[in-house]
Structure formats: structure tokens, C-alpha cells
Amino acid sequence: MTRSHQPLIRLARFKVEELQKQLAELDRSKASLNDQIVRLEASVPEEQAQATQSKEGYLAYGSYAQAVIKRKENIRASLTEVETQADALRERLSEAFQELKKYELLEERRLARAEDAVRRAEQDGLDEVAQIRHRRSH
């Protein structure tokens, strides 16, 4: 009889779950970066309004606006990196999931063969009993 694939299934399932956790973490990072962009964009009108109230504010606004633009560029670069990592992780997750399904299918087949062997053994036993009874009756 062939060995159980359960250890391989557990290992593959663990790998899938770990990759799913990593992907969820990247998704949280992506959401956080998007939130940072939204907050930055929301702060611009407030700063513009304050800049119009004084000459110093007006002069400082240019530096602030450049800093916001640079910060958004940095965040977008981080978003691109996170998305690249997420794409690679999705590919690894897909492969891990396929591996898990392969082991599960192998285990199903192994169990089906074992069940067939038990049924054949039971049927052989019943056939033998029937032959013995048949011989005794003749």
C-alpha cells in the first residue's frame, strides 16, 4: 500500500496560508500608502488657504507644495514596489495552491485505491464462501 500524502498536504496547506498572510500584509501596506496620498492631497487646499492669509505663508507655500509633490512621488514609487512584490507573491501563491491540489488529488486516488482493494478482498472472501457452500451442496 502506498504512503499517505497527508504530510505533504499539511506542508503545502501551510505554505499556501503563509503566502496568503504575506499577500494580505502587502494589501494592507498598499492601502496605507493610498491613504497617505489621500491625506496629502487633502492637506493641499488647507495649506493653500493659509498661504493666502500672509506674505510669509505665501512664500512658504511653494516649498510646501514641492515637498508634497516629492512625497507623493516617493509614495507612488513605494506603491509600485509593493504591487511588484504582490504580483510575484500571487504567482508563488498560485503555484503553491496548484501543488496543494496535486497532493490532495493524489491522496484521493490513494484512498480510492485502498477502498477498491478492501472491496475486492471482501468480494473475494464472499466468492470463496459461496464456492465452498456450492461444493458442499453437490
Grid cell at residue 34: 493610498
* Distance in angstroms (rounded) separating the CA atoms of residues 68 and 43: 9
pLDDT in tens, 43-100: 888 777 777 777 776 677 788 889 999 999 999 999 999 999 999 999 999 999 999 9
The pTM assigned to this predicted structure is: 0.72
pLDDT in tens, 70-81: 999 999 999 999
* Distance in angstroms (rounded) separating the CA atoms of residues 73 and 34: 12
